[in-house]
Amino acid sequence: MRPTTRRVFLGTAGALAVAPRPVWANGPAEKVRLAVIGLRGRGSDLCASFTRDPSSEVVAVCDVDDDAIAKGVKVVESRGGKAPRGEKDFRRLLDDKGIDAVAIATPDHWHALMTVMACQANKDVYCEKPASHNIVEGRRMVQAARKYDRVVQVGTQRRSATHVADAVEHIRQGGIGKVGQARAWIHQKRSIDVSGGPTAPPSTIDYELWQGPALDRPFIKNRFYYNWHWFWNWGTGELGNNGIHGLDVARWGLGVDAPLRVTSAGGAYMFRDIEVPDTQVVTWEFPETSLVWEHRMWSAHGLEGSSFGVAFYGDKGTLLIGDKGWKVEDGPAAEGKATDSQGAHIADFLSCVKSRKRPNADIETGHLSTRLCHLGNIAHRLGRKLTFDAASESFPSDGEANALLAREYSRRFEMASQV
C-alpha cells in the first residue's frame, strides 16, 4: 500500500462518507471479529482480554514493528485463540469487510485519526485512553461516531466496574452530603531515560507510519518505546496517561461537565530532557465544586493511604475509591469491594456492538473526561489560569490558548474539518 498523503486520505474519506453502513450480520451466538492495532503494553493486554471473551475472536493484529506483531500473534494463540493474521499497515484492516471492529492501542497521537477512519470504514471501535491527543480531535471522534452510527468505547474501564458505579450512586444519593471538592492522584516511582541521539530506526519498524499525523521527529530509541508519552508531539503526559482514569471517575461522581476555569502548577523537576511535567497539580473550578489532580512520577508515597485513588470530600463524610474498592470515612459507614473492570468493559463493548446501544464509556463521555486532561496541560504549557467556554470548546479572546486546542498535522495525514 502506497504511503498516505493528505490528498490520499481526504479522497478516501470522501469515498467512505457515502458508503452505506452495513447492518450487523452476526447473530447473538456469533463472535465479533476483531483486529487489535498497537501491540505493546495495552495492546497485548487487549489481545488477551478479547481472546478470553467468548463473544469475540481476534482475527488480526497490527503494529508498525514486526517484532510486536509476532508478540501479538503469540498472545492470542497462548490464550486459546486461532493464530490471527498480522498486518503492518492498519489501513488493510479497514479495507477488510470481514472485520467488525478494531481495538486501538497505539500512541496517543494516532487515537483520533484512526478512530475517525475506522468509523468511516464502518468499523466499531474500542479506543484506549486518553481518547485523543487534543480537544479538536476528540470532538471529531464524537462527530464521526454519530455520523456513521458506530459504537465507540474508550478504555476507561472503571466505567464498567460495579463497585465504582455503586460508589457514584452513594454520592448521588447524598451519602456524604454536598461535595465541595474531589481529588484524584497517582504517585509512583518511574525510571525514565530519554538520552541518546538520532539513529536510523531498526529495519523491522516503519517509523514513518508510526509518526503518522505527528510532525517529523528523528528516531531516538529511548524516546520511542513507551517514553513517547513524555513528548507533546506524540503524548499527553502523565495527565493523559494515568490522570484520565482518576479524572473520569471524579467527573462521574461529581456529575459535572466542563469547568469554568483551570490552573496548573508543576514542572519537570526530576527527569531531564522530557517536555511534560513529572510533578503536576491541576485545579478545575466548576460552578458549585472543584476538582484537583496531583501526580508525582518520582515518588511512590501516596495520598489517603493509596498510591492511586479518587476522594470525594462532602460536608457529611469523605468517600475514597482505590484499587481495593471504596469506603466512607468521617461519616455514616459504607463500603464496597473492588469488582472486575477490564473484563466487564470488554464485555460491555462487545454487547453494544451487537445491540447497537451506546457503551458505558461512549466516546462522548470519554471526550469530556479527556478534555479535562487537555485543559490541564494547556494551562501548564502557558503557565496561567484559563477561562473555558463549553459551548464553543474554546478560550474566549485567548488566541494563545486556542492555538493549543488542535495540532499541526504532518505531510502524510490530515484530519478532515468535518467528518
Q: What's the DSSP call for residue 4?
A: P
CA 353 – CA 332 distance, rounded (Å): 41
In whole angstroms, what is the distance from residue 258 CA to residue 150 CA? 25
pLDDT at residue 27 in the model: 52
Torsion of CA 33, 38, 39, 40, to 10 degrees: -150
CB 238 within 8 A of CB 276: yes
Question: What pLDDT, on a 0 to 100 scale, did the predictor assign at position 417?
Answer: 77
Residues in the chain with pLDDT < 70?
Answer: 1-29
Amino acid 29: pLDDT: 58
Cα 240 from chain centroid (whole Å): 7
Q: Please name the residue ranges forming H helices in 328-398.
A: 342-355, 363-382
How confident is the model at residue 21, as a pLDDT? 39
Note the pTM of the prediction, 2 decimals.
0.94
State the pLDDT at residue 5: 40
Contact 314, 332 (CB under 8 A): no
The length of the chain, given as a count of residues: 419
Q: Enumerate the β-bridge partners of residue 136.
A: none
Place of cell 501516596: 302
Nearest to 243 by CA among 191, 337, 308: 308
- How much is the pLDDT for 285? 98
